[in-house]
Amino acid sequence: MAGYTVLANRYRPRVFADVVGQEDAARVLQSSLRDGRAAHAFLFSGPRGVGKTSMARILAKAFNCLENALGEPCGTCRVCTSIDEGSECFDVEEIDGASHNRVENVRELIERLRFAPVEARFRITIVDEVHMLSTAAFNALLKTLEEPPAHAKFILATTEPLKVPETIRSRCQILDFRRLMADQIALRLGQVCDGENVTAPEELLPRVARHAQGGMRDALTLLDQLITFGEGSPRVEDFERLTGRLSAELLQSMLSSALQSDTAEVQRLAEQALDRGARPADLLAQLVEWLEGVLVSCAGGTPADRGDQELAALTDLAARTNVDHVVAMLDVLLEAQRRLRQRHDGQLVVEMALISLARLEQLAGMAELLASGGATSAPVAPARPASPAAAARAASPRATPSATSRPAPRAAAPSTQDGSAMQREPAPQPAPRAAASPRSAPAAQPVSAAHAAPAAKAAAAPQAATASATPAPTADFRTRFLEAVPGRSLRLELLRYTALRHEGDALVLCPPRDGPPPLYDPQSPDVAKQLLAAAEKACGARLSLRIEEASSAPDSQADSKANSKANPASAPGSSAEAGGGNPIERRVRELWPDAHDVDG
């Protein structure tokens, strides 16, 4: 195989028309060459494998082509062929910024630019990975880059444009190269397979294109490897084996089991995927990619760059869930990806994330209660019947108060033994200070029921305002704290804690002893910051975090006494306990009958 040229080099674009995905940059360069408005320095920036170096070579050929001067190189003259083959070309020099990053290298380059071109029109310098130059090298290049000789052209390429000094960027015409779309890469891969007389399965090329993440060179390199591994016949199984990607059937089964809350099956499938050699990071990335397609399907759209088989699987999963549930699942997976970068045991993070996905359906009702603060389904105690005297006062007509004066207090009307109110004779107009005596209060004039209702509302308004201004009892700290915690998955995790209370100037937490391992570590800096911020919103003061072991946490009886003092409705024997406690506790007892008291 001596002399074999890889596909990425053999199918490199030779002219502007061959460039894939960078049509805008090609149009700018062609127009500037055709109109005679080409700049003396260009800066090509973009991710790897998108055509920066190829475009630089095409531009160099267009500048110095001996046959065509209209902006498109001929590809057949000696200058064009020497640039394509990488052979010696006196007037075109291509260097690597990583290995020529010293100021001495830049000085030598400037000295060579003093000489006129040998056979072409311009002396062109291509500097790849220009951001690797040292600060002294950049400074030495400034003056020449700003005012070069008339026969000199610079083409700089970089993957890190922000590392290039602003003084360099301001002297160049900047062209941004974007990532290629997956369908553009798949189309080009099909053309390469036709040129190599290779038959590839229909679903293989789109998967290779998505795996390349917008880089044409990565896609061609992987296709070259698949052709070699499959002995001229690339297969989907070979792609999954070489890249660690999972089959569509396995990913569909994993998400389907999670939607069915089958934790045992989800764990078994996760172990099977990891045993096949899939890396934890790749597994989470593929699940996120699939859930992204499910989310688009749930929202009524069509996922892009997917095969027919995968589209059918995504549609089936979307029919069994909703947008909110998919968003919650993505939240869990994205958090697992963040945690995976901080831990060495990737399998544990993956299993915890997948088990959490399977439990989301059970905790959906809990999340709704947390969002509403537990007030929507709270039992309402029956009102006690009013006394006959109070009923008589409520039924008696009242005078409508004037806008400028408040009504004087009214004495209760005497009632008979049978509870009916006695009729009072109209009293004469009282003296100004007679309002202090209940007997001397002015009699109310009979008014209609339509006028009595607004008067009753106006009288009750000050009482309602006073009630709303009263601060919530201490027992409500847990509810306010959970409402202030950011992230649905973190709130659901805190529900499993055996203690969660405000004690002095500290937020006291007690993680559970039993059950699956916690998904969040309250002692980690990020999680602790979120918890203390939520506690400050709940109580209005800055607290410190104290983690207690389950054995050292106060017993449930002490907590019950504290809660009963702060909130009599939750005391033993009260109507709230008879109804099962607050709505969150009742929901917990319905899902997990053997669970510990959430406040103990």
Specify if 385 maps to a domain: no
Contact 531, 522 (CB under 8 A): yes
CATH of the domain at 154: 3.40.50.300
228 with 259, same domain: the answer is no
Specify if 430 maps to a domain: no
What is the torsional sign of CA 352, 355, 357, 360?
Answer: negative
213 with 295, same domain: the answer is no
Q: Measure the CA–CA gap between 540 and 288, rounded to whole angstroms.
A: 38
96 with 165, same domain: the answer is yes
49 with 141, same domain: the answer is yes
Specify if 266 maps to a domain: yes
**Residue 44 β-bridge partners:** 157, 175
Residue 46 lies in domain: 7-176
Consecutive sets of 10 residues in the chain, 600 residues long: mean pLDDT of each? 80 90 91 89 93 93 82 84 79 89 91 87 92 92 90 94 93 93 91 91 88 91 92 88 85 90 90 85 90 90 79 88 90 90 82 88 58 47 42 45 43 43 46 41 42 43 41 65 84 83 87 76 85 88 84 45 44 42 65 57
Pair of tokens at residue 456: 């009753």
172 with 305, same domain: the answer is no
Q: What pLDDT is recorded for position 53?
A: 92
Contact 307, 186 (CB under 8 A): no
Write b or e for each residue in 361-393: b if 16 or more Cβ atoms lie within 10 A of its Cβ, otherwise e.
bebeebbebbeeebeeebeeeeeeeeeeeeebb
Nearest to 24, CA basis, from 174, 239, 146: 174
31 with 98, same domain: the answer is yes
Residue where a domain stops, chosen among 176, 199, 216 = 176
Q: Measure the CA–CA gap between 255 and 287, rounded to whole angstroms.
A: 8
DSSP codes of every residue in 67-130: S--SSS--S-SHHHHHHHHT---TTEEEEETTTS-SHHHHHHHHHHHTSPPSSSS-EEEEEESG
Q: What pLDDT is recorded for position 125?
A: 92
Total number of domains in the chain: 4
228 with 346, same domain: the answer is no
DSSP 8-state secondary structure symbol assigned to residue 230: T
121 with 207, same domain: the answer is no
Q: Report the predicted TM-score, pTM, of the whole model to 2 decimal places.
A: 0.59
Specify if 369 maps to a domain: no
What is the torsional sign of CA 225, 229, 235, 237?
Answer: negative
Specify if 20 maps to a domain: yes
Q: Nearest 5°: CA angle at 578, between 574 and 584?
A: 100
